[in-house]
Amino acid sequence: MRRIGDDKTFALAVLIAALLIVGALLGPLVWPLGPLDMDFGAPLAAPSFAHPMGTDSNGRDVFARFLTGARISLAVGAIVVLAGLVVGGAIGVAAGIGGRVVDTILMRLIDALAAFPPLILAMAVTVGLGVGLKTAAIGIALSSVPFFARLMRGDILRIRTLPFVEASVAMGAKRGRIIARHLLPHTAPTMLVQCASVFGYAILTLAGLGFIGLGAQIPEPEWGAMITDGMQYALTGQWWLALFPGLGVLLAVIAANLLADRLEESLNPRSARNQVR
């Protein structure tokens, strides 16, 4: 098997991810300008030493906004992954071990949820709960539940037929112990890959919702909303407004998907391609 460290693409993905994470965590603390600080003396300034990514129409520093935007994107990505994993994973485990009736009921519910295209579902939830960053995160998390539930169910169904599970029953292990000690640890490789993949999906969808005005609202330094704001100036030559947040989304999603791909190859060489695309 190819060693993970020898892989240049993987190294690149790790580098991008590390830069984004460090930027998101430390950037807003270190960079002197705030994402909402306006400088009316310099609206729509081109990238320079003082403003590496230029300024917007109100003279806000795009670099400061980019860093805070990274923070928002990564935070929402993490929250979505965590919520989707816990809720979807629990549903998947219950369906996988609960027998035919439980399995049928849960999976038909998941089918109903997955019948909506994920973006439409996230949009509907966001609009229903009141447009904003938090409701967008809730909507995206909900739309990610089927990804986790289906994968977890399939993995549990596979693992529970392995001989060591029967051996645990013969030993006299309680059901809870069998699930926690013998089933769940074996789903870790698959779930890790799915987490990375959904992380990218969450960032992309959040930006998408922000872009169409259903996520974060415009003064908020969210990448999707920043792209929308910058679009009006694209034709008048202020390309930096939309380009940099766009690059942020692109890099974050690429890094997440590359990590998912490479993790999948190294952890689980025989498994099918990812569920989320």
Partner 1 sequence: MTGRDIPLLVVDRLEKSFAARSSNPFKPSREILRAVDGISFTVLRGETFGLVGESGCGKSTAARAILRLVEPTGGRVTLDGIDVASLAAEPMRKLRRRMQMVFQDSTGTLDPRMSVRELVEEPLIVHGIGDAATRRAKVDAMLELVGIRAEFANRRPHQFSGGQRQRIGIARALVLEPELVVLDEPISALDVSVQAQILNLLKDLQEKLGVSYVFIVHDLTVAEFFCDRLAVLYLGQVMESGSAKELFADPQHPYTLSLLSAVPRVGAKTGRRTVLEGEVSPLGSGASKGCVFRARCPVGKDRAICAEERPALRPHGTADHTVACHFPGELSLAPA
Task: List contacts with partner 1 (CB under 8 A).
Answer: 162-164, 166-174, 177, 181-182, 185-186
Count helices and strands (H / E) in the chain.
10, 0
Of 78 and 167, which CB lies nearer to partner 1 in the complex structure? 167
Backbone angles phi, psi at 43, to 5 degrees: -75, 145
* Least CB distance to partner 1 at residue 94 (A): 18
Backbone angles phi, psi at 55, to 5 degrees: -130, 165
* DSSP symbol at 55: B
Amino acid identity for residue 91 in this structure: I
Q: What is the dihedral of CA 3, 266, 185, 156, to 10 degrees?
A: -160
* Least CB distance to partner 1 at residue 170 (A): 5
* Least CB distance to partner 1 at residue 2 (A): 20
* Least CB distance to partner 1 at residue 120 (A): 35
